[in-house]
Amino acid sequence: MSFRIRTITARVVDHPVRSDGAIISFLGRHEASRYATVTVSGDSGVEGFGEATTAPVWSGETAETAKWMVERFLAPRLIGATFDHPSEPVAIMDRTLHANSFTKAAIDVAVWDLWARMQNAPIWRLVADRDEPVRRVPTRASIGVYPPAETVKLAEEFWSRGVRTLKFKTGKAGIDDVARLGAVRDRLGPDPIFTIDPNGAYQTAEQAVRAIEPMLPFNLSLVEQPTPRDRIAMLADVRKRIPVPVMADEAVFTPGHLEEALALDAIDVLSIYPGKNGGFTHSLAMAKRAWAAGKACAIGSNLETDLGQAANLCLASSLSAFPVNRYACDLMGALFYETSAVAPAIAFEQGCVVLPEGIGFGVTPHVR
């Protein structure tokens, strides 16, 4: 179904994040979500929506740079153009703008949303390779690098809300990660699934292995991004030396990064989400490529609101590449935002996030 883009606008929005239990990692503390909401309209007046979940430490973008790039640089190249498929505009963006993945993703997601709304259809129905989508997707919950007592308190809270996979941020100097995981095992027992995420804290493969080995007795199910993002060969080395599946997050932003990771056999699981990948278009293609190569996928996160989370959830629900009952996804917005950014709010039920029923990605932002 062809469509023409009539307008593209962006608005900076502040989303209050819980202060107690804020996510602290090797990269810093996520204490504010200042994002850009993007609206794309077509000739028919139908609108689609996307979110740039910007964080300078993660991608070098801010909400202000995203708004400027959207309205002053990218919009003039897309407005007035006619496209046959929603995957086409991102090719123009990629040719004319390096990096800025979250900015480009906000437009790309909005375009997909617009295209599906014009057809009065949910996006999962247009992209799924499953006969039926997974309606309830289990989420992980991130526990920041806190001392043992605070770590246990957060683990107990998330466990009581039905979350069964706990993701411990690790690798921050001065914090005993072994003591933290041990304290949670002692309190909650063997049932919680433990994953760790050092966010690239370990600067050599040897350092990573030395840090991970003392945590192995706590029955880790996944080690996420133990090494720096630009050292995929180092990640492959670590994978060979530990008996736990390895997930790439920061190391794989683009299709090119994925090809390198596959060539080096550096990963077992790929963290995917549109913001990091530069669009829903790229996430779709990368998930299919990874799955064809025998690698599983799981949704990662930059702490999206329900607006950004809707596109993430659509991927996990729709594609076989996401074995969600084996590897829980990062769909934890309800655990960190007191109010939803959209209507209807995405439902959170006993540790699972529920696929919206509406057309497009199924949600509409309150502020646009």
pLDDT, tens digit (0-9, with 9 covering 90-100), for 174-215: 999 999 999 999 999 999 999 999 999 999 999 999 999 999
Residue 80, domain CATH: 3.30.390.10
Ranges of H-type helices in the chain: 56-59, 63-68, 75-78, 89-96, 101-118, 123-127, 148-160, 177-188, 205-212, 232-241, 255-263, 274-277, 280-292, 306-318, 333-336
The pLDDT score that the predictor gives to residue 155 is: 98
CA distance 137 to 288: 19
Q: What's the domain count of the chain?
A: 2
SS3 track for 187-219:
HHCCCCEEEEECCCCCCCHHHHHHHHHHHHHHC
* Residues in a beta bridge with 137: 353
Phi and psi torsions of 158, nearest 5° = -65, -40
Contact 122/342 with Cβ under 8 angstroms?
A: no
CA distance 100 to 65: 9
| DSSP code of residue 293 | T
- Residue (of 16, 75, 63) closest to 36 by Cα position: 63
The pLDDT score that the predictor gives to residue 26 is: 82
* Residues 294 and 163 both lie in one domain: yes
* Residues 144 and 266 both lie in one domain: yes
Q: Which two tokens stand for residue 49?
A: 């929506």
* Residues 116 and 150 both lie in one domain: no
Residue that is last in its domain, among 103, 120, 137: 120
Contact 104/74 with Cβ under 8 angstroms?
A: yes
pLDDT, tens digit (0-9, with 9 covering 90-100), for 264-321: 999 999 999 999 999 999 999 999 999 999 999 999 999 999 999 999 999 999 999 9
CA angle 226–273–20, rounded 5-degree value: 70
pLDDT, tens digit (0-9, with 9 covering 90-100), for 336-364: 999 999 999 999 999 999 999 999 999 99
pLDDT, tens digit (0-9, with 9 covering 90-100), for 34-70: 999 999 999 989 999 999 999 999 899 999 999 999 9
307: containing domain: 125-365
For residue 367, pLDDT over 80 is answered with: no
Residue 264, domain CATH: 3.20.20.120
